[in-house]
Every structure is written in structure tokens, then in C-alpha cells.
């Protein structure tokens, strides 16, 4: 495939607009793409939107509280930022959201209570995450912050470089609050069964490009990175009926359980509880992680 055609495809991010509430306009398609192929993609995106709909609504369950209060010590502060996956849309109970499962897993590993604060918003793009941070009290200092975002950037045709730039700014702002940061990269859009081919393959390619850019930016900013397409994506591909909610787009309770389990090693590493992480996890350079202007004491180090 020529570089010109690849560049042209990168401008079609809107054709993957299968997410609930997203308008699937794909804009002007160049001659290299072919008008017939562009028409096919438009029809497929429209069909996928109709199939998915909004059966889950647009509000996730509020799961914020202190988990495992019976454990000794002051609570570990866990902040979750990002989009509908971070917010837990699709979970049927408070305990089934991604944040709650991460809080419970962290508490069990550290034998400490964990206070969950979820500022993530359904439908958020990366550009909206700074506002999530601004909504927090000025004196709030999380021990670790988990950021999952990117899917809506893909569907809304946000330029990759703009998305990555804002992600870097968010990581800097979290470090200023004294938090270690764990970034879950853009999920594999190709796992979405409502997307027919070739729309699904195109979406997978674009999502991977976003995920790669997120990983590069996050590591450069001394954040921990979990490549969701690698650590949990295969489960969604091989077991879609179990892993997806009724809209076949957002994770189900089992999907969130798997995702939280997959992300937990990096959360524990960020808190200083473990030194080694499995495949699909990426640690920041230890030499760059020493920030003389910031308190670097970690929860798990005491």
C-alpha cells in the first residue's frame, strides 16, 4: 500500500464512528481511496451505529468510596480519569466498574484500604481530561492515577499529535499533584463485532497508531503504560459474548474484571509494591523517574 493511500486513510477516522452517540461523518475522501470504497465505509459506519444504539444510557454507576475499610492504615488514594471505560459504563453494580475492581485489587495486594475517586466521563476525548482534573479539589493528591482514553479520539477524527500532546500535559499535571500515573492505551477497535469488514480492519489500524503514540508520550513523561490491546484485547476477540455488554461495544462485568486484572500489575508497580511487570506493560526509565522537585515516596515502599 502506498504512503499516499495510508495518509489518506488516516483522515478517515470518523468512519469508525460506531460508539454510542457519535456522528459518523467521514469528510472528504481523496481520489486514491475510491468513491465506491468510501461509500461502503459510510454505510457500514451507519449500520454499526444503528446496531449499537444507546442501551446503556450515558451515565456510569457512581462507585466512589473507600474499599476494604477493615484493612489497617490510611487509605491509598486512587484516581481514575478518561472515557466510558474508565468510568465503568456497562457494569451492572458499583463493585463491577473498572475503578472499583482496581481499588479492591490494590487493597488486597497492599493490605490497605483504597479510596476511589472517579472523574472519568462517558464520551470523553483526551482534550476533555484536563477539565476532569480541574473538577477535583485543589488540595487533592492521589497516590496513583489511572488514565484510559483514546477510543473517542479515534471516532471523532482527533489528530493523533493533538491527542498525544494533551495526554502529556495531563501526565505532567498529575505528577505536579504528586501522583504516579498509569496509562491504559487505546483499545483494539478491531475487536468490535458490530463493525463489518473492511471498516473493522481500518479501525484496528488507526487505533493501534493512537495506542503507539500514547505509549511513546506516556513513557517520555515517566508514566507507566499498559497496552490494552495486548494484555486484554485477545479476550474480547475470542470471547465477545462474555466480555462485551449488551451494546457489544462497552465491556461487561466480566470485561471489566479482566481489564482490571490486566492493569493491576502496573498500578502496583507505580505504587512501589512490585518491580517486575508482565508482557504488555511498560515501565518508565528509572533514571528519568527520579524527580527532585516532587515527593517520590511511594505507598508500597514503606
Show which residues are catalytic: 84, 247, 250
- Could you give the C-alpha distances from 273 to 67, 124, 265, 276, 298, in angstroms and in order? 18, 31, 9, 10, 9
Strands 144-148 and 224-226 turn out to be unpaired
How far apart (Å, rounded) are the C-alpha atoms in residues 207 and 99?
23
Helices (H), ranges, 157-246: 160-176, 199-220, 228-231, 233-238, 240-243
Rounded to the nearest 5°, which phi and psi values hold at 180?
-85, 150
Strand ranges in the chain using DSSP code E only, listed in sequence order: 66-67, 76-82, 114-118, 144-148, 180-184, 224-226, 281-282
The rounded distance, in Å, linking the Cα atoms of 85 and 259 is 10
Sheet of 281-282: strands edge to edge?
66-67, 114-118, 76-82, 144-148, 180-184, 224-226, 281-282
Continuous H helices in 53-159: 84-87, 98-110, 129-134, 151-155
Amino acid at each position: 500500500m502506498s504512503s499516499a493511500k495510508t495518509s489518506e486513510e488516516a483522515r478517515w477516522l470518523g468512519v469508525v464512528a460506531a460508539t454510542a452517540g457519535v456522528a459518523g461523518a467521514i469528510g472528504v475522501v481523496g481520489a486514491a481511496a475510491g468513491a465506491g470504497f468510501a461509500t461502503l465505509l459510510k454505510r457500514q459506519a451507519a449500520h454499526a451505529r444503528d446496531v449499537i444504539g444507546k442501551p446503556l444510557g450515558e451515565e456510569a454507576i457512581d462507585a466512589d468510596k473507600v474499599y476494604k475499610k477493615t484493612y489497617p492504615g490510611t487509605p491509598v488514594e486512587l484516581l481514575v480519569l478518561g472515557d466510558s471505560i474508565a468510568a465503568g459504563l456497562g457494569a451492572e453494580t458499583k463493585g463491577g466498574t473498572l475503578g472499583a475492581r482496581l481499588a479492591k485489587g490494590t487493597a488486597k495486594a497492599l493490605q490497605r484500604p483504597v479510596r476511589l475517586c472517579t472523574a472519568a466521563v462517558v464520551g470523553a476525548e483526551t482534550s476533555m481530561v484536563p477539565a476532569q482534573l480541574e473538577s477535583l479539589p485543589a488540595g487533592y493528591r492521589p497516590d496513583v492515577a489511572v488514565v484510559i482514553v483514546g477510543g473517542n479520539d479515534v471516532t471523532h477524527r482527533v489528530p493523533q499529535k493533538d491527542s498525544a500532546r494533551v495526554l502529556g500535559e495531563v501526565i505532567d499535571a498529575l505528577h505536579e499533584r504528586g501522583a504516579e500515573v498509569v496509562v491504559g492505551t487505546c483499545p483494539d477497535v478491531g475487536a468490535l463485532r458490530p463493525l463489518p469488514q473492511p471498516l473493522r480492519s481500518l479501525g484496528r489500524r488507526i487505533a493501534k497508531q493512537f495506542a503507539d503514540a500514547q505509549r511513546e508520550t506516556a513513557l517520555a513523561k515517566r508514566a507507566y503504560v499498559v497496552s490494552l490491546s495486548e494484555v486484554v484485547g485477545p479476550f474480547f476477540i475470542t470471547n465477545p459474548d462474555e466480555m462485551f455488554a449488551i451494546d457489544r461495544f462497552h465491556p461487561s462485568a466480566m470485561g471489566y474484571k479482566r481489564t482490571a486484572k490486566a492493569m493491576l500489575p502496573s498500578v502496583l508497580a507505580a505504587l512501589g509494591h512490585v518491580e517486575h511487570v508482565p508482557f504488555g506493560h511498560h515501565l518508565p526509565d528509572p533514571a528519568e523517574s527520579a524527580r527532585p522537585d516532587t515527593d517520590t515516596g511511594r505507598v508500597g515502599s514503606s
